[in-house]
Amino acid sequence: NDTDYLRRLGEYHLHLGQTDKAKETWNRAVATPAGDKYAELAGWYEAHEFPEEALQSYQKALELQPNREWSLRLAALHHSLGQEAPALEIWKGLAGAEAAAADRAEVANILESYNLHKEATALWEAAAAQEPETLEYKLALAQNLVKVERQEGAS
């Protein structure tokens, strides 16, 4: 049950066109449930373009062990599958009331990369208010406000 062996064996099955056998082999990596094992499995599914399976694996990983990076991957997968609402819920959860300004800025950048400028506005505002001395957040907020056509707050 060495995970590297299971990954390579699953890839071999994929090469032979045996998708079900590959997935069955990979799933052996989580015989003993652990968050990091499910996240590793999710990465394999992602790498081989099985997004639904990757979603399920990241969700199981997060049920067992909260992890910011896995949450970000899960949100990105939701978005790539056209599931914007769950993606936004995860992203906004990562930038909630207890989040640091840097975490809010990171999520705002992610939202902007998906052209979700309106959704990013509140995060930039919160980051800039939380750390008013950080000019990067103020500049990003101003640029965002121009994108969402709210120039009055951009100066």
pLDDT score for 149: 80
For residues 127-151, average pLDDT = 91
pLDDT score for 151: 57
Rounded CA-CA distance 146/128 in Å is 16
Rounded CA-CA distance 97/125 in Å is 13
Helix axes 51-64, 35-47, angle to 10 degrees: 170
Residue 73, token pair as written in the block? 């991957």
Average pLDDT, the chain: 93
What is this structure's pTM?
0.86
With beta carbons less than 8 A apart as the criterion, state whether 29 and 40 touch.
Answer: yes
Rounded CA-CA distance 108/23 in Å is 35
70: nearest Cα among 102, 46, 49, 48? 46
Q: Which amino acid is at 99?
A: A
Rounded CA-CA distance 74/51 in Å is 10
